[in-house]
Each structure stands twice: as C-alpha cells, then as structure tokens.
Amino acid sequence: MTGPKPIPIHEIVRHNKPNDCWVVIEGQVWDLTEFAPQHPGGEGCKYSSFLDVGYSGNETMKVILRYAGQDATRQYNEVHTLALLPTALTISKLMGKLDTINSIWPTAQDTLSQVTHQKKPPLSSILSSHDFEIAAHSTLSKKAWAFYSSAATDLISDRANKSFYNRVWFRPRVLRDVKEVDTVCMIQGVRSSLPLFVAPAAMARLAHESGERGIAKACSKKGIIQCASINASYAIEEIVSAAPADYPFFFQLYVNKHRPSSELLLKRVWDLGIRVLFLTVDAPAPGKREADEAVRAGDILSTPMSGTSATRDKTGSGLARTMGTYIDPSLSWEDLVWLRSFWMGKVIVKGVQSVEDAKRASKEGIDGIVLSNHGGRNLDTSSPAVLVLLELRRHCPEIFSQLEVYVDGGIRRGTDILKALCLGATAVSIGRPFLYALSYGEDGVEHLIDILRDELETAMRLLGITDLSQLHSGLVNTGDIDHLVPSTQGDIFTKRGLKAKI
C-alpha cells in the first residue's frame, strides 16, 4: 500500500451515487461501487469473504452508500476494523489517499460517541461486577447501554437469571483446612485459572476502543479463556493477535444463511489454532429487546454490523435485531453433519434449554453444552440456566459424564459460580459484566477478573473446600426452586385439530 495518490475532497464528494461510490476510511479512498449493491438479500454475494463476520452483502451496501462521497472513518471504526478491508476489497479498489489539505467535511451527529464520561468512578472504587454495571450505565452512550443491557420484552428471564442464584442456599462445612485454595479447572481440555470464560458478546468496541482485543489481553494475563463472538468488532485474527502466541481461544459461530461464508470463516478460525467451537442455537430469530429498539441508532451503528438502514421501521431500531439478519433460521440437528464435514475441532452447542435437547446433544456426540437463555435476550420467560441444570440432574444425571455442561446468564458473584459448579456445571460463561468492565479498558477487565477470583476464593474457603473437585450438590440447598423443576418429561398434552390444514 505504498504511496497512493492524494485525492482532494471536491473530487471525492462527486462519487456519491450507487453506481459511483467512493468512501474514505482512515485516510484511504476506496471505490466501493462494485461492492454488490445489486445482490439479493440473504443469498450471499461474491464478496462473501467480507461477510465472514456475519452479515449479508446487500444490507452492508445500503449503509455504505449512505457514506458515498464521504469520510466514514469514525463510523467504521466504532464497530468494525480496518483489518477486514484487505479481505473484503481487492487492492485495486484503493483509489488513493485523502488530500488532507482543506479537508473540511460536514458535521455529523455521532450518537454512539455520546459517552458522557461524567461520574465515572475511579477503578479502585469498583468492588464488584454490580459497581461496573452502575459505572457503565452512567458513562456508556445511550445506544451502547441499550444494546448491552437490554433483554427480551418483559425482562422476566433476565431478572430470574440473577434472582434464581440468590434462591440457592449454601450449606457450608467448617473446620476444614482452607489455607490454600486452588481455582484452576479444565475446560474442554484447556487449562483455565478460574472456572469461567468470557462469553461471546457482540461489538465490544461500543464500550471501549480496544474492544475484544482489550479483553483478550486481560484474559491472557489472568489465565482465562475468551470465547470470541462472530459479531465481534474486530476480526478473529486481530483478537487472537492481541494475546501471546498460542494462547488458547474459543470461537462462537452463528451459521450464515450462505453456508460457504461460515465454512470460510471456520477455516480462518482453525488456521489460527482455535479448536473449540461454540455453535449458538438459541437465536434462529432475533429476540425482541424493546429498550434496544427504542433508542434510535446512529447511522454508524448499523453500518458495519448488518448494513440495514437505521431508519426506524414499524418494529423499531433494534441493533441486535438488525445485526442478526444473516443468521440461518433453518439450522437443525441434521446440519451437524455438514458442520463436521469441514470442522474437525470440538463442538459445543450453546443455548440448550431442556433435558430433551441435552440428551439429543449427547447422542449426537457433542462435546459440551451451554445451558443458556441467551442472557434473557431472546425468548422471555425461557428458563434460567440454573433451573435447566436442576432438570438435567433430576432426569438425566448421566449427561454430566457424557459431555461438559456450562451455564450462562445472571452470574455476577463468585458464589454464583460455585453454585453452578455444585450442581454439575464444569464452568460458567460471563458476558455483560466483561463489557461493562471493558469501559475501563483492559485494566477494567483485569480488575473484574481479580474481583471474581477473590470472591471465588473467599467463597470456597467459607464453604470449606480447597479445590473445585470437592464441590458437590450437598453443599447447596435448592429447596426454594425445586418445585420449579419440571417433574416429568414426556407428559405432553396435545389437543386435536388445533389447526386445520389450509
């Protein structure tokens, strides 16, 4: 990329039409005219390599066209990353560099960057994940907060995810020598200094410029694993490169309607040395998150993620919804054959919510399952993971020796982690708290990990154990939620003729 020619603004601004579309990004002037504007939505496009991170072509184009003849650097960087450009565009499309002399562009409202920065407490005063949440609430942009914190419709699942852990009581043992405690565990054969990993949350750059890279740096320092999201703000190569060589990562996939996109992406993931794949299965349709829908997104938000217009439609402005348009709703158990035809690594099914599906996963030879209602963000009143954990224990206890079980949703304390492990989980997955912590950058993430470790060690000592292998169900009392465990499976009640054939 040596010496592209300078192009003045008055030249650039003329290329502002679908059939003649230039865009400036980081001082480079790109001709995006051929970038698939005519491709039908959801059918893939020839620039599928651009779409590896999860959106279909024509929607991306719609947004790009909005910046035709303009500088889109800031918007692009908010959620995207320059590293994608070489993949997405051939070098021949680079027309030159921005002539920075007389570089005057019209002002744009950037709602995303409306981070108030007021009232952000010093990191040293943050004592818990709750403190991080409070700090994030007051300092993130409205849209970022809405996107991260929102959950489906009436927030029943979201709240239950948290409250159900509070309804499990401990039964500690005393007078054990707990001088030394060890929190190390193995997750899919990978060593972790704590029985938790970072959930594959989307678009971390909304919280901090360093995004998923900042999380990666902190995790590698602290010895825990990050599961990178396909909807990350950075390309997987960039995320991985933020950590020391050979530091292990997990990767989370939504299967693209255009299957070759997914295949190509997983090829890249494999080449980076990643061997554990989390296949998210609980989002065939986007959840209805009204707080997210209600906050109008800035243009820059929709651009890199889904490409759909930010114009409010009848349903709202949901970032999560528009971001998920590429996800294939037809994905089924049968597609595991397809997945394994090109993915040789481990497969974790993320989003199991019933003993029936847990059994099916085991039968299919899946390596692990994440009991999850997607943080309460998809189907409201779907069960908190801890309830599904109890359901498995009651109706299918053998599952725990067949595959590893993880839970996510509502875990905010070291005690929550211990409870999940007492009930059979191998580890837990934590999402939102890491995004909130990231608002302090890499330091925030490290501080959160320190807090969780301290809480976990304290709780282990007070519970009377020194090693996670000593945890068992006799250390907790689930009497307050036991009546919520479905008492029988197979008791299905159908009525005849609910729907006539038409």
Q: Which of the residues 24 through 63 are near a second copy (CB under 8 A)?
A: none
In the annotation, is 326 catalytic?
A: no
By beta-carbon proximity to a second copy, the closer residue of 217 and 453 is 453
Instruction: Report if residue 357 touches a second copy, rule: CB under 8 A.
Output: yes
Interface pick for a second copy out of 161, 426, 429, 439 (rule CB under 8 A): 426
Both tokens of 426, joined, read: 């191998």
Interface pick for a second copy out of 136, 151, 300, 421 (rule CB under 8 A): 421
Interface pick for a second copy out of 8, 170, 247, 259 (rule CB under 8 A): 170
By beta-carbon proximity to a second copy, the closer residue of 50 and 197 is 197
Sign of CA dihedral 403, 409, 415, 419: negative
Minimum distance from residue 217 beta carbon to a second copy (Å): 18
Q: Of these residues, 71, 131, 158, 282, which one is catalytic?
A: 282
Which DSSP letter does residue 316 get? B
Instruction: Report if residue 285 touches a second copy, rule: CB under 8 A.
Output: yes
Minimum distance from residue 399 beta carbon to a second copy (Å): 10
Sign of CA dihedral 375, 410, 422, 188: positive
Instruction: Report if residue 482 touches a second copy, rule: CB under 8 A.
Output: yes
Query: Of how many residues is the chain composed?
Result: 502
Instruction: Report if residue 413 touches a second copy, rule: CB under 8 A.
Output: yes
Interface pick for a second copy out of 44, 54, 286, 375 (rule CB under 8 A): 286
Residue 465: partners with Cβ closer than 8 Å, 6 or more residues away: 173, 176, 178, 181, 471, 475
Interface pick for a second copy out of 19, 38, 127, 260 (rule CB under 8 A): 127
3-state DSSP assignment of residue 498: coil
Q: Of these residues, 55, 148, 254, 440, which one is catalytic?
A: 254
Instruction: Report if residue 379 touches a second copy, rule: CB under 8 A.
Output: yes
Determine the interface stretch with a second copy among 55-63, 84-92, 266-274, 377-385 (rule: CB under 8 A): 377-385
Both tokens of 358, joined, read: 């847990």
Containing H/E element for 323? helix 319-323
By beta-carbon proximity to a second copy, the closer residue of 216 and 370 is 370
In the annotation, is 367 catalytic?
A: no
Query: Which DSSP string do the residues of 398-452 spell out, in sequence order?
Result: GGGGTSEEEEESS--SHHHHHHHHHTT-SEEEE-HHHHHHHTTTHHHHHHHHHHH
Answer for the pair 304, 202: CB distance below 8 angstroms, yes or no.
no
Minimum distance from residue 207 beta carbon to a second copy (Å): 21
Dist. CA 15–CA 21, nearest whole Å: 5
Determine the interface stretch with a second copy among 55-63, 101-109, 198-206, 485-493 (rule: CB under 8 A): 485-493
Residue 469 φ then ψ, to 5°? -70, -15
Instruction: Report if residue 397 touches a second copy, rule: CB under 8 A.
Output: yes
Interface pick for a second copy out of 101, 117, 290, 363 (rule CB under 8 A): 290
Dist. CA 370–CA 279, nearest whole Å: 10
Minimum distance from residue 166 beta carbon to a second copy (Å): 5
Interface pick for a second copy out of 335, 362, 367, 396 (rule CB under 8 A): 335
By beta-carbon proximity to a second copy, the closer residue of 86 and 365 is 365
Sign of CA dihedral 68, 72, 78, 79: positive
Bridging pattern class, strands 276-280 and 250-253 = parallel
Instruction: Report if residue 3 touches a second copy, rule: CB under 8 A.
Output: no
Dist. CA 148–CA 378, nearest whole Å: 13
Per-residue x/- marks for a second copy, 95-124, CB under 8 A?
A: -----------------------------x
Q: Which amino acid is at 307?
A: G
- Measured in whole angstroms, the distance separating CA 19 from the mean position of its chain's CA atoms is 35
Interface pick for a second copy out of 70, 383, 429, 439 (rule CB under 8 A): 383
By beta-carbon proximity to a second copy, the closer residue of 271 and 482 is 482
Interface pick for a second copy out of 191, 267, 340, 363 (rule CB under 8 A): 191
In the annotation, is 374 catalytic?
A: yes
Residue written as token pair 């189907």: 379
Other residues' Cβ atoms within 10 Å of the Cβ of residue 107: 5
By beta-carbon proximity to a second copy, the closer residue of 23 and 224 is 224
Containing H/E element for 198? strand 196-198
Other residues' Cβ atoms within 10 Å of the Cβ of residue 454: 12
Dist. CA 123–CA 443, nearest whole Å: 8
Q: Count residues binding a second copy (CB under 8 A).
A: 115
Which DSSP letter does residue 140 get? S
Q: Of these residues, 374, 395, 416, 447, which one is catalytic?
A: 374
By beta-carbon proximity to a second copy, the closer residue of 71 and 292 is 292
Per-residue x/- marks for a second copy, 444-473, CB under 8 A?
A: ---x--x---xx-xxx-xxx---xxx-xxx
Interface pick for a second copy out of 40, 172, 244, 273 (rule CB under 8 A): 172
Dist. CA 225–CA 206, nearest whole Å: 21
Catalytic residue set: 254, 282, 374
